[in-house]
Amino acid sequence: MPQVQVYVSLPLPVDEVFRFLADGRNLPRWHSGVTEIRGTDPFAASSGTGCVYRYRFPGRHRDFRLECCTFEPDCRIGYLGQRMWTPLGSQVPRYDFRLWPQGAGCRVGVQVTSWLTGGMLALWPVVALGWRRDLPDDAQRLFAVLTGSDDRADVGFDPGPGVIGPQPRRRFRLPATR
């Protein structure tokens, strides 16, 4: 299953960036995987997990459920999208963000994982290619929105401190060659 992650350095404290990312209503301002969102303030409850939004995935004409599934204050936030059906199969997107201090600012890991079923499995390289193309631009937009600057951010595919969200399950193995 496609899983793409990028990293961006921000000259802002971890808690400020976390509060921005933990409010799912900010996703359409910078993330290409969300075009519109409706929901409530995640900080109204004691923790953001379970906070549910209605969002629109690009190219879709109806709203889907987006739930905050990971909430570790000033460390990690994750959103799990509802299964989206297509004639070829289905897709379940997950957006994960990890933060850690870096000098006077912080570093943010942005990861997208798509679980695919049916004929969509055959298209996983295309889905991954799309995210590898779009995610660095998303990280640049995050930098611009949070800093108000048009400067180029330090964005990269470097490995950082490890995988941000859950690893997709491997269901199929290729036969061994003789």
Question: pLDDT band at residue 9, thresholds of 50, 70 and 90?
Answer: very high
DSSP string for 124-151: HHHHHHHHHHHHHHHHHHHHHHHH---S
Q: In whole angstroms, what is the distance from residue 17 CA to residue 14 CA? A: 5
Per-residue pLDDT at 127 exceeds 80:
yes
Query: Which of 118, 120, 126, 78 minimizes the C-alpha distance to 99?
Result: 78
- Secondary structure of residue 131 in the 3-state scheme: helix
Question: 19 near 119, Cβ under 8 Å?
Answer: no
Query: Which of 121, 71, 130, 52 minimizes the C-alpha distance to 92?
Result: 121
Question: 52 near 39, Cβ under 8 Å?
Answer: yes
- Secondary structure of residue 76 in the 3-state scheme: strand
Q: How far does Cα 60 stand from its chain's mean position?
A: 18
Query: Which of 131, 151, 130, 128 minimizes the C-alpha distance to 141?
Result: 151
Per-residue pLDDT at 123 exceeds 90:
no
Per-residue pLDDT at 96 exceeds 90:
yes
pTM of the model: 0.80
**What are the residues whose beta carbons fall under 8 Å from the beta carbon of 23, sequence distance 6 or more?**
41, 42, 43
Per-residue pLDDT at 162 exceeds 80:
no
